[in-house]
Structure 1
Amino acid sequence: MESKIRAVGKMTQVEELRRDQIGAQLESMRHQSEQLSQQLAALSELKARNFQGATKTCSVGLMNLNLADQMLQKMLLHHQQEQAVMEAQCQSVQKQLQQKAARVQGLEQVLERWNKKQNYEKAKREQKLIEDIINARFKRRDL
C-alpha cells in the first residue's frame, strides 16, 4: 500500500506540474489575445480616420486613399481571423486546464482515501497487538 501511495503522490506532482504549465500557457495566450484586440481597435480607428481627413479630390490622392483603405481592410480582416483563432486556442487550452485540474483533484482524493485506509489498517493492527498483549498477560496470571 505504501508503494501505491508513493506512486499516486508522484503522479499527482506530475499532473500538478502539467496543470501549472498549461495555466502559464493559457495566461500567455490571453495576453496575446489582448494585444491582438488592441491592435484591431487601433486599426479600426485608423481606418475610420482615413476617410475623415480626405478633402482632396485629385485622382492621385483618391487612388492613394483607396489603396490605403484596401490595405487597412486586409489587415483588419487578417487580425480578426487571427483573433478568432487565438480565442479558439484559448478555449481549447482552458478545457485542457479544467481536465488537468479535475485529474489532479481526483488523484488527491485517491491519495487521501488510501492514506485514511492505511491509517485505519495501522490503527486496527496496533489495537489487535494491544489486545493480544493484554490477553497474554491475563493468561499468564491465570496460570
Structure 2
Amino acid sequence: MDSKIRAVGKMTQVEELQRDQIGARLDAMRHQNEHLAKQLTALSELKALNYSGSSKTCSVGLMNLNLVDQMLQKMLNHQRHEQAVMEAQCQSVQKQLQQKAARVHGLEQVLERWRKKQNYEKACRDQKLIEDIINSRLRRRTL
C-alpha cells in the first residue's frame, strides 16, 4: 500500500506541475491577446484619424491616402484574424487546464482515500496486537 501511495503522490506532483505550466501558458496567451486587442484598437483609431484628416484634394494626396487606407485595412483584418485565433487557443488551453485540475483533484481524493484505508488497517493491526498481548497476559495469570 505504501508503494501505491508513493506512486499516486508522485503522479499528483507531476500533474500539478503540468497544471501550473498550462496555467502559466494560459496567462501568457491572455496577455498576448490583450496586446493584440490594444493594437487592433490603435489601428482602428489610426484609420479613423486617416479619414478625418483627409481634407486634401490633390491627386497625389488622395493616392497616398488610398494606399494608407488599404494598408490599414489589411492590418486590421490581419489583427482581427490573429485575435480570433488567439481566443480559440486560449479556450483550448482553458479546457486543458480544467481537465488537469480535475485530474489532480481526483488523484488527491484517491491518495486521501488510500491513506485513510492504510491508517484504518494499521489501527486494526495495532488493536489486534494489543488484544493478543492482553490475552497472553491473561493466559499466563491463569496458569
Q: TM-score range by the shorter chain?
A: over 0.9
* Alignment match, 2:2: 2
The count of aligned residue pairs is 143
SS at match of 1:55: coil
Give the TM-score normalised by structure 1: 0.99
Deviation sequence 1:65-96 (CA, Å, 0-9, x none): 01100100000000000000000000000000
**Is 1:12 paired with 2:12?**
yes
CA distance in structure 1 between the partners assigned to 2:38 and 2:69 by the alignment: 19
Shift of 1:60: 1.0
Q: Which amino acid aligns with 1:102?
A: A
SS at match of 2:56: coil
* Alignment match, 1:138: 138
Runs of 4+ with deviation above 6 angstroms: none
Deviation sequence 1:84-132 (CA, Å, 0-9, x none): 0000000000000000000000000000000000000000000000001
Q: After TM superposition, list the pairs within 5 Å mapping 1:83-122 onto structure 2.
A: 83-122=83-122
Give the TM-score normalised by structure 2: 0.99
SS at match of 1:51: helix
Structure 2: where are the runs of 5+ without partners?
Answer: none
* Paired-residue identity, %: 80
* Alignment match, 1:25: 25
CA distance in structure 1 between the partners assigned to 2:51 and 2:114 by the alignment: 70
Q: Which amino acid aligns with 1:120?
A: Y
CA distance in structure 2 between the partners assigned to 1:85 and 1:8 by the alignment: 37
Shift of 1:54: 0.9
Structure 1: where are the runs of 5+ without partners?
Answer: none
> Aligned Cα RMSD in Å?
0.4
Shift of 1:58: 1.0
Shift of 1:59: 1.1
